[in-house]
Amino acid sequence: MKVLVANLGSTSFKYQLIEMSDETTLARGAVDRIGSPESSCTVEIGDWKDQRTMSVPHHGVAVEACLAQLTDPQHGCIKSADEVDAIGFKAVHGGRFSGVYRIDEEVLAAMEEMRDVAPAHNPPYVAAMRQLASSGGNIPLIAAFETDFHQTTPDAQRYYAIPKQWSDDFHIRRFGFHGNSHRYIAMRTAELIPGASRVISCHLGGSSSLCAIRDGKSIGTTMGMSPQTGLPQNNRVGDFDPFAIPLIMEKTGLSLTEVLNKLANEGGLLGLSGKSGDMRDLEAGAAEGDADCQLALDVYVSEVRRMMGGLLVLLGGADAIVFTGGIGEKGAEIRAKVCEGLEDLGIAIDRVKNGVAEGEMAVHSETSRTQIWRIPTNEELVVARKCVELLGK
């Protein structure tokens, strides 16, 4: 069985084609600048790399372009699109739908209900799903929602302190996200660290969240109702007092929609630094003495530590802390700063191991009671497995 896993942005389509018999990646690629006169279509199949420029007006055409490369007569890894058994979407927010579903009008309607809660994610996913569903193809379309892994969190971690009827009637609660990544870390740590029942998964990247995992299940996470919450994101605000919004509107003359748009697109690390939300740019700027870049780094690390502290209490301690995601995997200095000064809590990082860590690697010191690991995530594999499981039913 072959599953094409899709990760969508408003103007991008990234994918992996996975052979599920041995869970190997046959191909990976991307289509960028969707909607522009010239879009870039790239693919890697073994040693073969191909890049084409063509007009890709919408995501439906992006999938067609991707399939054309995968079926390339000379270098392709499949003979026809009929060999693809499913397209699995790493869908973000389904509101009342939290799980894995064949995509139909009811699922799409639920996603549209949450479009204002996940404005950067749901609209492009819904548009692409509709385009593909209407194209007449026979490939099953499946949504594996990021909120699924967090359905095991107890009510005390899911409810806000608002009138309970709002929570129940309007689905206003802490959903949590990055579920496919946190699920992978839960599965992989069980294999790498037998007996580690209490794990804190740190998915740090352009979008970041932490998750408390007990016996392979999520019992708490840092994101809430929307992907705008929790840790500061690269350009999204993170946790923020809603009662500051009327003051901002009064002082700036901006409308509510304009303020929310700025918080969602000009906040986070970008807003703090005034320059970039990319961790590499911030570290370079801080090294050159830019105080605002340093502030953005300090706030990010401080928030990771603050929220990790809450999850440590929730779990009653941790057997393992795992760093994953773009920053979690590549940011040796961020990992070191997050763990700095925690020796009395039994958390001690080895600076030498941490500085050279690659792949799956333990980076804790010999004196650390808590294991600290760098583990690259594999969200696509989790989505593919979920697709196989659903189709098997």
Residues 370 and 271 in one domain: yes
- Residue ranges of the annotated binding site are 7, 14, 278-280, 379
List, in sequence order, every beta strand (DSSP E) within the chain.
2-8, 13-19, 24-32, 39-45, 48-54, 86-89, 100-102, 141-144, 198-203, 209-214, 217-221, 320-324, 361-362, 371-374
Is residue 226 included in any domain, yes or no?
A: yes
* Per-residue pLDDT tens over the stretch 239-295: 999 999 999 999 999 999 999 999 999 999 999 999 999 999 999 999 999 999 999
pLDDT at 220 over 90: yes
Of the ranges 38-42, 208-212, 311-315, which one carries the lowest mean pLDDT score? 38-42
Residues 222 and 312 in one domain: yes
Is residue 84 included in any domain, yes or no?
A: yes
Residues 215 and 351 in one domain: yes
Q: Given the structure tokens 């199949």, which residue do they identify? A: 45
Is residue 175 included in any domain, yes or no?
A: no
Write the CB contacts of 159 (distance below 8 Å, at least 6 apart in sequence): 167, 173, 174
Host domain of residue 253: 194-374
Dihedral (CA of 75, 79, 82, 86) sign: negative
Q: What is the pLDDT of residue 63?
A: 85
pLDDT at 136 over 70: no
pTM (predicted TM-score) = 0.93
Q: What is the pLDDT of residue 373?
A: 98
DSSP-derived 3-state class of residue 235: coil
Residues 117 and 231 in one domain: no
Cα angle 302, 185, 277 (rounded to 5 degrees) comes to 40
* Per-residue pLDDT tens over the stretch 339-376: 999 999 999 999 999 999 999 999 999 999 999 999 99
Mean pLDDT computed over every residue of the chain = 95
Closest CA to 187 of 230, 149, 219: 149
pLDDT over 70, % of the chain = 99
Residues 239 and 342 in one domain: yes
Residues 3 and 120 in one domain: yes
List, in sequence order, every beta strand (DSSP E) within 20-164.
24-32, 39-45, 48-54, 86-89, 100-102, 141-144
Q: Count CB neighbours of 313 within 10 A.
A: 11
pLDDT at 12 over 70: yes
- Residue ranges of the annotated binding site for ATP are 14, 278-280
Residues 203 and 303 in one domain: yes
Is residue 339 included in any domain, yes or no?
A: yes
- Residue ranges of the annotated binding site for Mg(2+) are 7, 379
Residues 127 and 199 in one domain: no
Q: Are 160 and 210 in contact (CB under 8 A)?
A: no
pLDDT over 90, % of the chain = 85
Is residue 73 included in any domain, yes or no?
A: yes
Is residue 330 included in any domain, yes or no?
A: yes
Is residue 35 included in any domain, yes or no?
A: yes
Is residue 286 included in any domain, yes or no?
A: yes
Residues 199 and 116 in one domain: no
Structure tokens at 4: 């094409």
Q: At what angle do helices 291-315 and 279-287 cross, to 10 degrees?
A: 120
Residues 203 and 136 in one domain: no
Q: What is the pLDDT of residue 37?
A: 85
List the CATH number of the domain containing 370: 3.30.420.40
Across 171-182, average pLDDT: 96
**Number of domains making up the chain:** 2
Across 46-71, average pLDDT: 89
